[in-house]
Amino acid sequence: MPTASFHRSLLPGLLAMMLASCGGDADKDAPLATLDAPLTRNAADPALREALETPLASDPDLTGEMNRDAVRPPDRPLNGALPLLSPAQAKEEALRLAGGRLISAPAATKSIASTGTVPATLAGLARQTLASRGERCDSGRESHDMDWAGRLPPVLPVYPGAHVTEAAGADDPAPCAFRAASFTTGAPVGEVMDFYATMAKRGGYSVEHVEHNGAQVLDGAKGRNGAAYQLRVQDAPGGGSLVDLIATGRDG
């Protein structure tokens, strides 16, 4: 049976073998550590360092796709915009608003050509319209805001499915108050004229048709509150119509 002194004599040899084994692993790991160190410090490759340090960017065109298949809705606010109407849908809605039947706009009674300066803004055009009727109204109190398009008289709304490009108005005392909107529609000039001639007559307005510098103009008035309107329609490039609609005074 081995003695305790024999076991003690083996310990130095065992320790030497264990240390040699550990030293061998350290030697094997040394090259790997040498490679890892520069990468950890982002110092070996400038391109790698730049890629790691540059903030992540997102493509705005693809942002909405990232959670397309998720159960929750996309991370963007809902908007209240109504879908655009097709020409057929717009015509159907115009017919509905007109009570199911459109009358034809009267033929033009005269053609006017003028060389006067055209106002640069819709509000300026509205003031010019008021002045042509003999109204003396202060300027400068009007405002340009798309909300005015929704405040036109109910019988003279923006044409169904149209795209409003400008709107203005003023809450001045009658007859100087006005609401105005400029818009484009895919409907041809004739259909737009018939719609507003029908709506104006249903609303108790008179209807007069003149041609002014190539544009078709409907004018009319009613009551004692200075309630009147002017509609200017002309062909839009590529089809459809360009429209300026101005309602003045107080309807009612």
pLDDT in tens, 103-116: 999 999 999 887 66
Q: Which of 5-19, 83-97, 208-222 has the lowest average pLDDT? A: 5-19
Q: Is 175 exposed, middle or buried (0-12, 13-18, 19+ CB in 10 A)?
A: buried
Q: Is the model more confident about 9 or about 153?
A: 153
pLDDT surpassing 60 at residue 186: yes
Q: Which of 25-29, 133-137, 200-204 has the lowest average pLDDT? A: 25-29
Q: What is the pLDDT of residue 85?
A: 82
pLDDT surpassing 70 at residue 54: no
Q: Which of 152-156, 175-179, 245-249 has the lowest average pLDDT? A: 175-179
Of 215, 208, 226, residue with least CA distance to 189: 215
Q: Per this entry, what is the length of the chain?
A: 252
The share of the chain scoring above pLDDT 70, in percent, equals: 60
Token pair 């083996």 in the structure block, residue: 10
The predicted model gives 72-93 an average pLDDT of 62
Contact 218, 205 (CB under 8 A): no
| 145 band by pLDDT with thresholds 50, 70 and 90 | very high
Q: What is the pLDDT of residue 121?
A: 75
pLDDT surpassing 80 at residue 46: no
State how far the Cα of 184 lies from the Cα of 232, in Å rounded to an integer: 12
The predicted model gives 169-175 an average pLDDT of 79
Contact 228, 161 (CB under 8 A): no
Query: At a CB cut-off of 8 Å and minimum separation 6, what does 43 contact?
Result: 49
Q: Is the model more confident about 143 or about 72?
A: 143
